[in-house]
Structure 1
Amino acid sequence: MMNQRNCSTVAAEDIEAGNKNPKFQAETTLPIFLKFKEVTYKVLIKKLTSSEEKEILSGISGSVNPGEVLALMGPSGSGKTTLLSLLGGRISQSSTGGSVTYNDKPYSKFLKSKIGFVTQDDVLFPHLTVKETLTYAARLCLPKTLTREQKEQRAFDVMQELNLERCQDTMIGGAFVRGVSGGERKRVSIGNEIITNPSLLFLDEPTSGLDSTTALRTIQMLHDIARFAGKTVITTIHQPSSRLFHGFDKLILLGRGNLLYFGKSSEALEYFSSIGCSPLIAMNPAEFLLDLANSNINDISVPSELEDRVQLGNSGRESQNGKPSPIHETRVAEQEKRELLDPVPLDEEAKGIVLPLKPQWGASWWEQYCILFSRGLKERRHEYFNWLPVAQVLSMAVILGLLWWRSDIRTPRGLEDQAGLLFFIAVFWGFFPVFTAIFAFPQERAMLNKERAAGMYRLSAYFMARTTSDLPLDFILPTLFLVVVYFMTGLRVSPYPFFLSILTVFLCILAAQGLGLAIGAILMDIKKATTLASVTVMTFMLAGGLFVTKVPVFISWIRYISFNYHTYKLLLKVQYQGFAPFVNGVRIDNGLTEVVALVVMIFGFRLLAYLSLRQMKIGT
């Protein structure tokens, strides 16, 4: 089997052989030898009346060295992604058995900066360009010792390495946004991970959804990354073509959570032939191996003494006498067994590399905030030029202006009508922001999950950037709304009440937005969050002070947590201060109590949202 070699040895031999690749120069990379022995993983499945433990992985062993590409292959449900996530540190070690070591040491969170993890679904912002995506990743992840220009140059170098220069100014795109091709999107995902020069690169189904030619180029690129940059690459693959299959250095074949084969991919067929299993027709070797893993033996020659046991594999893993079928026995080549036991052959330079004792951020908190704020503005820039919300707000303002045209407060009826207008303003700007903010965190959950797992930034910096990048649009729309409504409906025409009315609406918007953020962060499910928000907003509206003024004591507390109630009272006090001592049962004073209540809601709801995000489990 393959000899263990560190990355500098791999690079030196390639250069001597004339195989130097100008795109993937050997960088100063910590060589990491990954070993795993007898790895098991179980999950607890809860039922209506009981719960049972299900074994997902059972006794998986293997190793992969710098400069090698290890493929995890098997049918759907065989445990490929689970094993990949476990090796990449995305699964808690408390629920696993066996050992996983990196240079003969267990996993620690300080390895995050040395690991790149590409998920099966490309988690990218659809409205950012290729260049913007990689540049923001570089500015967030690369060390503080580098200047902004050096980080941006690194992003450009990665684009060149991955042949992305031609589409660097094209948006990534998504389900409803036209953008780059599937192969280019996959390369951007890989570029996001290799931009920090990781030692370990994990990829989950990198060829999924790609045509055969693009898939082959992707695997060749991974081979170049491993061989010429000295990285350790592990990838899952479902059903590769024969050309892809021969592009892997090592292969792990899984079946029903068991290890069926570990060794050189080129020697897999030879091994199964040695136990009497061979294809009856010319077929892709990967298809043959997957048929074996699935116990599908229609086109496979199987020794007569194994036929009954293999046939039984369609309904169960074990034979009638309780012993595993030889097809489902673990096979680890002798050389691989020795490699699992041998100490890692690090050179003196690599031994001198020590991982930091605490996480090293690529930017200060303020820099992280600024970068994420800028990224948020660019990702949602299309919303600022979207005519729909502007048309919605302005049309509603015109309708209100026509219905309450030049209302006269000198009569009791006119005063009552204008109070109804102020209540509607409080309700409208309490309803609109809630259902906009609900989508913030659920829509970005996959991105937040991925970037937090990679240790790209502090959660507090992300939270502040995400919650403030919407404010420009949140302030522009109500200002347009009030300019139209205020002067059409005959509200108090004076600079002081006008600006206080705008400030009151802003406080209401921030409080309502905080409620939406909290509900979205707690539930992380748009349907459930929308349902809960609808009930909550309707309750706040009913308790807002217009529909019912005398509320029973046992439920009167609801109005005090209703931002509609406090906004309505504050608008009344702004408009009628000095005009009347009481309006609609509300005492006209300086409004300090309502301002304090809204400020407490603004910060209280956001604190609840932040704490909910901190409790969110990080994983794939």
Structure 2
Amino acid sequence: MMAGPTYPIHLKFTDVGYKVLLKRIASSTEKDILQGITGSARPGELLAVMGPSGSGKTTLLSLLGGRTTANIVQGSITYNDEPYSKSLKGRIGFVTQDDVLFAHLTVRETLTYAALLRLPRTMSRQQKEERAVNVITELGLQGCQDTIVGGSIIRGVSGGERKRVCIGNEILVNPSLLFLDEPTSGLDSTTALRIVQVLTEIAESGKTVVTTIHQPSSRLFHRFDKLILLGKGSLFYFGRASKAMSYFSSTGLSPLIAMNPAEFLVDLANGNTNDVTVPTGLEDKLQSKESGRHTTRGKLSAEDVHEYLVAAYETKFTEKKKKKILTPLPINRDLKATVCSLKRDWGANWWQQYSILFWRGLKERRHDYLSWMRITQVLAIAVILGLLWWQSNTTTLRDLEDQAGLLFFISVFWSFFPVFTAIFTFPQEREMLNKERAVDMYKLSAYFLARTTSDLPLDLFLPVIFILIVYFMAGLRLSVAHFFLSMLVVLLTVIAAQGLGLAIGASIMNIKKATTLASVTVMTFMLAGGFFVKRVPAFISWLRFLSFNYHSYRLLLKVQYDHLPPSLDVPELGDGLKEVAVMIAMAFGYRFLAYISLRRTTMPK
């Protein structure tokens, strides 16, 4: 079953310009990224945007796809003769250059979760799953559908298969417009040809496909219907790809040797005229520049070639093509109204979004949380602690102080560990979050709650194993009630500490800076925790009330030593309810801060 009908969308853009503001210490200047770009693409066509690195290809693609709307200083971009609106978001697919995918999910799981979240609510779960299977078949991914996607470190599917999975994520919803940024980058020529064949088939199904490409092989080049050639943000050519060589020959520029057309065009865009006939206009310019000095043929500057190509295109084609593009389309008004009035509709309700994201998160991260390295680390520390405090007791003050040191270490360890695990949560998933939120896959609140709660079972598994080992090896208070109370204190510490890590990561979104801030914060909390310094100066004593180490340490002391006479050096602990209330407040408060920070630093709804 399809996600809905394919509404044909004609894309037009005329005199598109884009500038960015470069801020310097003393002043700021504007830099032109694109200057007067004109072109069009219609349903059934594959438009390729070519040019060397830094020519503005990705910027143009982002503008056409509605991903960058600010700072357009001139020109217009229309979809069926109407300007961009948020209603078009569901009709546009966008494949970024980097493959933003979850490494531990299989191909089938990746596409199924995307289908469940993005396809209309009118479709049943079974129909959505069938749609995912159909896309797998359509893209020729049956052979690897049960293989994990993988990434730079984790081995998974091949680069070409990964790129097809990215394309599958977008064509699931049957978009009218599909934009792709360098889909063949880093692939061998055969795999790249397979990707372009897929794009051709997608275009032939009635969609408008626009892709950037750096320097394709000649086989790839001849697959394109239309071509835009850019150089330093200027337009050198727009028209049928098959007519590009004859156009440049008409300007006096043609290869002197057999050459891949794409290689020839990119060389020209770079200002390289080696092995190329030089037109009279450029020869005259060169002779006037070098009059009175000896020069060799072909030593033209890139700026000279750039100016000549821009002037030649403006003379031959610009006005004629602009007039043709500006001519109103013979489109049924009902269709135009339908495309432009489509309302944003979530593919699943809030609870369904939460449920899907929860199980997806659990599947994706169980490999990291339950890795042999992490388990070995916790088990090794637990056994070492058990041996160091083997069957300790509290018969003397010295014994009591030794055992209190173990309780403080447990409190500190399960503060450090969750904080530095949680810090990476949002910075590492920022690209994925922005990508999925850009197409309205889910609400941020559903993502946040699913992300934080799906971590809890994994975060709480290792502390339970840790306490089971340390508690009985160290000979702590042997009572079912006191064992479980100690366990609950540690788990509450983990939840509060995890909240702090989430808040720091979400507010900074930079792993190095977040790690530095977390180190300073946790060390301060540890020093204020009541073990190293018992008489903290009044002007800084308030810090201990912000420290979950302080509260968890007091709770552990309360659980283990509430039966001992006050003559021993045990602080006045009360009933512990205040400490519990403060740590619960921290667990919720830090998470609320993380959510607010995440909403501020990521793409708005």
Q: Would the TM-score normalized by the shorter structure come out above 0.5?
A: yes
SS at match of 1:541: helix
**Who is 1:506 aligned against?**
491
* Matched ranges for 1:401-480 at <5 A: 401-480=386-465
Q: Which deviates the most, 356-365 or 165-174?
A: 356-365
**Who is 1:267 aligned against?**
243
Instruction: Describe the superposition over 1:193-238 as per-residue Cα deviations: whole angstroms up to 9, x where unpaired.
Output: 00000111000011111111221121121111111x2111000010
**Who is 1:153 aligned against?**
130
Coordinate RMSD, CA, aligned: 2.3
- Determine if contact 1:202/1:233 at 8 Å carries over to the other structure: yes
Distance between the aligned counterparts of 1:153 and 1:117, measured in 2?
A: 22
Distance between the aligned counterparts of 1:604 and 1:332, measured in 2?
A: 62
SS at match of 1:501: helix
Alpha-carbon shift at residue 356 of structure 1 (Å) = 5.4
**Who is 1:121 aligned against?**
98
Letter in 2 for 1:53: E
Note if 1:87 corresponds to 2:64.
Answer: yes
**Who is 2:214 aligned against?**
238
SS at match of 1:552: coil
- Determine if contact 2:505/2:514 at 8 Å carries over to the other structure: yes
Letter in 1 for 2:483: F
Note if 1:173 corresponds to 2:157.
Answer: no
**Who is 1:185 aligned against?**
162
- Determine if contact 1:433/1:509 at 8 Å carries over to the other structure: yes
- Determine if contact 2:184/2:213 at 8 Å carries over to the other structure: yes
Distance between the aligned counterparts of 2:327 and 2:565, measured in 1?
A: 89
Letter in 1 for 2:241: S
Instruction: Describe the superposition over 1:49-74 as per-residue Cα deviations: whole angstroms up to 9, x where unpaired.
Output: 32221111111111111111111000
Distance between the aligned counterparts of 1:236 and 1:403, measured in 2?
A: 62
Note if 1:572 corresponds to 2:572.
Answer: no
**Who is 1:104 aligned against?**
81
**Who is 1:376 aligned against?**
361
Distance between the aligned counterparts of 1:493 and 1:463, measured in 2?
A: 39
**Who is 2:509 aligned against?**
524
SS at match of 1:615: helix
Alpha-carbon shift at residue 332 of structure 1 (Å) = 4.0
Letter in 2 for 1:137: A
CA 1:328–1:298 in structure 2 vs 1: closer, same or farther (change >3 Å)?
farther
Note if 1:490 corresponds to 2:475.
Answer: yes
Distance between the aligned counterparts of 1:150 and 1:375, measured in 2?
A: 19
Alpha-carbon shift at residue 388 of structure 1 (Å) = 2.2
Note if 1:314 corresponds to 2:302.
Answer: yes
**Who is 1:20 aligned against?**
none
Distance between the aligned counterparts of 2:479 and 2:130, measured in 1?
A: 54
Residue among 361, 365, 374 paired with 2:346: 361
- Determine if contact 1:37/1:60 at 8 Å carries over to the other structure: yes
- Determine if contact 1:406/1:488 at 8 Å carries over to the other structure: yes
- Determine if contact 1:518/1:609 at 8 Å carries over to the other structure: yes
Distance between the aligned counterparts of 2:351 and 2:473, measured in 1?
A: 44
Letter in 2 for 1:604: G
Instruction: Describe the superposition over 1:112-131 as per-residue Cα deviations: whole angstroms up to 9, x where unpaired.
Output: 11111111111111111111
CA 1:180–1:582 in structure 2 vs 1: closer, same or farther (change >3 Å)?
farther
CA 1:51–1:119 in structure 2 vs 1: closer, same or farther (change >3 Å)?
same
- Determine if contact 2:369/2:459 at 8 Å carries over to the other structure: no
SS at match of 1:116: strand
Distance between the aligned counterparts of 1:602 and 1:316, measured in 2?
A: 64
Distance between the aligned counterparts of 1:491 and 1:125, measured in 2?
A: 43
SS at match of 1:604: helix
Distance between the aligned counterparts of 2:580 and 2:567, measured in 1?
A: 19
Residue among 24, 36, 43 paired with 1:59: 36
* Matched ranges for 1:5-44 at <5 A: 28-44=5-21
Letter in 2 for 1:535: V
CA 1:156–1:318 in structure 2 vs 1: closer, same or farther (change >3 Å)?
closer
Distance between the aligned counterparts of 2:240 and 2:329, measured in 1?
A: 19
Distance between the aligned counterparts of 2:3 and 2:258, measured in 1?
A: 40
Q: Which deviates the most, 300-309 or 456-465?
A: 300-309
Alpha-carbon shift at residue 583 of structure 1 (Å) = 6.8
Letter in 2 for 1:202: F
- Determine if contact 1:492/1:498 at 8 Å carries over to the other structure: yes
- Determine if contact 1:114/1:198 at 8 Å carries over to the other structure: yes
TM-score (norm 2): 0.93
Q: Which deviates the most, 264-273 or 82-91?
A: 264-273
SS at match of 1:278: coil
- Determine if contact 2:108/2:145 at 8 Å carries over to the other structure: yes
Residue among 228, 249, 254 paired with 1:252: 228
Note if 1:590 corresponds to 2:578.
Answer: no
**Who is 1:137 aligned against?**
114
CA 1:567–1:356 in structure 2 vs 1: closer, same or farther (change >3 Å)?
farther
Residue among 259, 266, 285 paired with 2:261: 285
Q: Which deviates the most, 517-526 or 128-137?
A: 517-526
Q: Which deviates the most, 554-563 or 461-470?
A: 554-563
- Determine if contact 1:292/1:327 at 8 Å carries over to the other structure: no
CA 1:138–1:96 in structure 2 vs 1: closer, same or farther (change >3 Å)?
farther
**Who is 1:204 aligned against?**
181
Instruction: Describe the superposition over 1:494-521 as per-residue Cα deviations: whole angstroms up to 9, x where unpaired.
Output: 2222211111111110111111111212
Distance between the aligned counterparts of 1:148 and 1:582, measured in 2?
A: 66
SS at match of 1:126: coil
Alpha-carbon shift at residue 360 of structure 1 (Å) = 0.6
SS at match of 2:449: helix
**Who is 1:9 aligned against?**
none
- Determine if contact 2:18/2:71 at 8 Å carries over to the other structure: no
- Determine if contact 1:263/1:332 at 8 Å carries over to the other structure: no
Instruction: Describe the superposition over 1:358-404 as per-residue Cα deviations: whole angstroms up to 9, x where unpaired.
Output: 52100011111111111111112323552222222122122212222
CA 1:347–1:353 in structure 2 vs 1: closer, same or farther (change >3 Å)?
same
Letter in 1 for 2:590: F
Letter in 1 for 2:436: E
- Determine if contact 1:295/1:311 at 8 Å carries over to the other structure: no
Structure 1 gaps of 5+ residues are 1-23
**Who is 2:295 aligned against?**
none
- Determine if contact 1:137/1:192 at 8 Å carries over to the other structure: yes
Letter in 1 for 2:331: L
- Determine if contact 1:258/1:330 at 8 Å carries over to the other structure: no
Number of aligned residue pairs: give it: 592
Instruction: Describe the superposition over 1:79-116 as per-residue Cα deviations: whole angstroms up to 9, x where unpaired.
Output: 00011011111113345432111112221222211111
TM-score (norm 1): 0.91
SS at match of 1:353: helix
Letter in 2 for 1:261: Y
**Who is 2:289 aligned against?**
none
Alpha-carbon shift at residue 536 of structure 1 (Å) = 1.4
